[in-house]
Structure 1
Amino acid sequence: MTAMRAKMKINHIDRRNAGSETLYFNPVCRSAGYPADGSDENNTYAKFSPSGMLSLTVANPALLGKFNEGEEYYLDFIKVE
């Protein structure tokens, strides 16, 4: 199976629960300021993954506080055989 890569942006982090935090992601999207030739990477990702959402609760103490709103990440989907 061909792997899929999405480019996601953290839009919100819920840190209300002690010992964990929930990260809320959406695909990157187009916004004003992209080059007319469409060469910006986010423009390309938005074309093929125009909408969606992902929430992920992190409970690993080594990762708490390491993520910030506005950061972008690649998310790879590779089928487990």
Structure 2
Amino acid sequence: MSTTMRAKLQVSMVQEHMGWVDPATGQKPEKASETLHMHAVCKPTYADSEFDEDNTYARMSPGATLTIHIANPALWGKFKHGDKFYVDFTPAEH
């Protein structure tokens, strides 16, 4: 199967979620997950003469948001505000 679309997204926020505190034991909360908030790459304004890669993506997909909840501890801390990623959309088999 081939990719039908590629987007270029930028991390706008990484939100940490803490686990519940057990009042009986006084156990401190531990990190339970992260939520990534991403948006389509863009600049506040583009001149017609600006043809960098972000501009090309912004012209074809001027608006996009993606939120991903990550429960895998091996991935926590791997995504930082401002990081950019390609996201490929490939049809999944049924």
Seq. identity, %: 43
Counterpart position of 1:10: 11
Counterpart position of 1:19: 32
SS of equivalent residue, structure 1 residue 15 = strand
CA distance in 1, matches of 2:3, 2:81: 30
Q: CA RMSD in A?
A: 1.8
What is the TM-score with the length of structure 1 in the denominator?
A: 0.85
Gaps of 5+ in 2: 19-30
Residues 1:79 and 2:80 aligned together: no
Gaps of 5+ in 1: none
Structure 1 residue 2, shift from structure 2 partner: 5.4
Q: Which structure is larger by alpha-carbon Rg, 1 or 2?
A: 2
Structure 1 residue 41, shift from structure 2 partner: 0.0
Which residue identity lines up with residue 9 of structure 1 in the other structure? Answer: Q
CA distance in 1, matches of 2:43, 2:6: 17
Which residue identity lines up with residue 29 of structure 1 in the other structure? Answer: C
Q: Count how many residue pairs are aligned between Structure 1 and Structure 2.
A: 80
- Matched-pair contact (CA < 8 Å) for 2:3–2:88: no
